[in-house]
Amino acid sequence: MKIKNLLIDLVLIILGVFAAGMGLKGFLLSSHFIDGGVTGISMLLANTTSAPLSVSIFVINVPFLYLGYRKLGGVFAVKSSMAIAGLSLCLAFVQFPDVTHDKLLTAVFGGVFIGSGIGMAIRGGAVLDGTEIAALLVSKKTQIVRVSDVILILNVVIFTAAVFLLGVESGLYSILTYLAASKMIDFILNGLEQYTSITVISVKGEKIRVAITENLGRGVTVYQGKSGYGKDGHVNDTRDIVFTVASRLEVPLIKREILKIDPAAFIVQQSVDDTTGGLMKRKKVH
C-alpha cells in the first residue's frame, strides 16, 4: 500500500511539474507576466537581469526547503526538492509551444496551468513554491497572522515591484494570473463539491435529529450543551446540539426542515475545506 501511495504521489508531482512548466513557458514568459511567491520573484529577476529562470527558481527555494526539512520533516523536504528541481529542469530543457499572444488568455490560462501544477504537487505531498513553507512557519511563530495573510502581504510586495519594473499593464495582468492560479489550486485541492457544516441549537434537538437522519438521509453528531442567556429565557437549560455536514445544494433543504420543526432554532453555518470518513454520501431514505 505504501509503494502504491508513493507511486501515486510521484505521478501527481510529475504531472504538476509539467503543468506548471506549461503555464510558465507556454503562456507567461513570452508576455513578461509573473506569478506570485518565489516563482514571481524568480520571474522578476529573469525579466530584469540575465539570471536564467530555471536556476533562480531552484536557488531561491533552497532556504525554504531547508526550513521545510527542519520543521516539516525529511519526506516532505525530499519530495519538494524533487518537485522544484524537476520544474527547474523542465524549464531548462523541455520545449513548450507559445500558445497565444492574447494578453487576457495568457494571464488566465497561464494561471490555470500553474495553479493546476501547484495543486497536484501539494496533493502529492510536495510544493513547487517555498512561499507556503515560509508562510506556515511565520504563522506558527507569531500565533496571530494567518498563513493566507502572510502570502497576501508577500504577493502585494511582489506585484507592486512588478508594476514598477515591468509596467502597469504587465503588473495588472500578473495579478489576474495569480488570481486564476489561486482559484485553480482551490479547485484541485477541494474539488467542485464543497461542504458546509451546520450546527443547530434547539430545544427540539431530537426531532431535528430524526428529520435530518430519517427524512434527509444525512448523518449527524449529537452532543449536549447548556443554554446561556437566550430569547427563551431558559438559562442553563440542557439541550441537544445537532451537528451535520452537507453539500451546498443540500443546505437550504436542511434549514427548511429545521425551521419547520423549530422556527426559533439557532443555526450556525461554516464552510468546510475538506472532509475525511464519516457519512458524506447521502443515504437512501425509504
Identify whether residues 149 and 249 lie together within a single domain: no
Q: Which residues of the chain have pLDDT under 50?
A: 286
C-alpha cell at 215: 427524512
In a domain, 284, yes or no: no
Domain interval for residue 235: 195-272
84-90: long-range contacts at Cβ-Cβ below 8 A with a sequence spacing of 24 or more?
A: 84/57, 84/58, 84/127, 84/128, 84/130, 85/58, 86/13, 86/14, 86/17, 87/17, 87/20, 87/21, 87/57, 87/117, 87/128, 88/54, 88/55, 88/57, 88/58, 89/54, 90/17, 90/18, 90/20, 90/21
Identify whether residues 138 and 258 lie together within a single domain: no
Identify whether residues 32 and 151 lie together within a single domain: yes
Distance CA 52, CA 94 (A): 14
> Which domain CATH number covers 240?
3.30.70.120
Identify whether residues 128 and 54 lie together within a single domain: yes
Identify whether residues 131 and 177 lie together within a single domain: yes
DSSP string, 229-269: S-TT--TT-EEEEEEEEEETTTHHHHHHHHHHH-TT-EEEE
In a domain, 113, yes or no: yes
Q: pTM (2 decimals)? A: 0.75
Contact 180, 115 (CB under 8 A): yes
Query: In the prediction, which pLDDT does 64 show?
Result: 87
Query: In the prediction, which pLDDT does 234 show?
Result: 59
Distance CA 239, CA 50 (A): 68
In a domain, 281, yes or no: no
In a domain, 129, yes or no: yes
Query: In the prediction, which pLDDT does 147 show?
Result: 56
Identify whether residues 153 and 29 lie together within a single domain: yes
In a domain, 277, yes or no: no
Contact 161, 19 (CB under 8 A): no
Query: In the prediction, which pLDDT does 280 show?
Result: 54
- Give the residue carrying C-alpha cell 437512501: 284
Task: Kindly state the DSSP code that residue 272 receives in the 8-state scheme.
Answer: E
Question: What sign has the CA pseudo-torsion 208, 213, 217, 218?
Answer: positive
In a domain, 250, yes or no: yes
Identify whether residues 150 and 213 lie together within a single domain: no
Identify whether residues 12 and 150 lie together within a single domain: yes
In a domain, 285, yes or no: no
Identify whether residues 224 and 124 lie together within a single domain: no
Distance CA 195, CA 45 (A): 41
Among 132, 155, 190, identify where a domain stops: 190
Strands of 266-272's sheet in order across: 220-226, 238-247, 195-201, 266-272
Interval 141-175: pLDDT, tens: 665 555 556 677 788 888 999 899 888 999 999 99
Identify whether residues 108 and 169 lie together within a single domain: yes
Identify whether residues 135 and 69 lie together within a single domain: yes
Identify whether residues 11 and 40 lie together within a single domain: yes
147: Cα separation from own chain's centroid: 11
Phi, psi of 244 (to 5 degrees): -145, 165
Residues near 265 by beta carbon (within 8 Å), at least 6 away in sequence: 200, 201, 202, 204, 208, 258, 259
In a domain, 280, yes or no: no
Characterise 104 by phi-psi region: left (phi > 0), alpha (psi -120 to 50), beta (else).
alpha
Distance CA 152, CA 146 (A): 10
Domain count of the chain? 2
Give me the chain's average pLDDT, please. 84
Among 168, 190, 212, identify where a domain stops: 190
